[in-house]
Amino acid sequence: MMLPDGYSDVPSGKVAAVVTHLEMTARPQQRDDPRGAWSLRKAERPALDWFRDLFRRVGEEWLWFARARISDAELAAIIHAPQVEVYALVHDVCDEGLLELDFREPGNCELVYFGVTSKLIGTGAARFLMNRALELAWSRDISRVWLHTCTFDHPAALAFYQRSGFRPFRRQIEVADDPRLDGTAPRDVARHVPVIE
């Protein structure tokens, strides 16, 4: 469906974001790692409670809600799939970043979830995590790595992905029930996206 030019109303109780899809079709030049006490740990068959907690701590402020709304069986089917890899960025023995790579589509790797907790934003931890993500993705026989971000995300996210070597190729509008109104997310998160009941 084609959206008309101009303004379009978003119903009360809904949120709307502009989603930008980005891709990389060749292995990028390796970037230097920032200084920091971070490491990457692969979560082998991640526990659902652990995943949900890290997902919430990394993404709640940016209105990540898709995985919070699915059942345990649906979540397990995704993150336990043989071609899906989940990693934690570790800082001071705590898991403070989330990386999910999906290799289920032949020749492709989707960076499904990528982010660090609020205390690590601006420290270089995200650069470290992206460097590891791209090493892992391009270690496979693929021809494309892709991801998407949206206007709910950190204001520097889109530029960060472009500096990392991704180029935009598609834009969409996503409309969904506001997760703060149905209890999926706390009412006071994501103040940059006002609640309209």
Domain that holds residue 161: 35-168
Six token digits for residue 148: 């998407």
Q: In this predicted model, what pLDDT tens digit does every residue of 2-49 receive, in sequence order?
A: 778 999 899 999 999 999 999 999 999 888 888 889 999 999 999 999
Q: pLDDT averaged over consecutive 10-residue blocks of the chain (197 residues)?
A: 84 96 94 89 97 97 95 98 98 96 98 97 96 97 98 96 97 96 95 95
CATH number of the domain that 65 lies in?
A: 3.40.630.30
pLDDT of residue 46: 97
Looking up tokens 């982010």 gives 115
Q: Would you say residue 103 lies in a domain?
A: yes
Per DSSP, the residues of 47-72 read -HHHHHHHHHHHHGGGT--TGGGS-H
Of 14, 2, 3, 28, the C-alpha closest to 196 is 14
Q: Would you say residue 134 lies in a domain?
A: yes
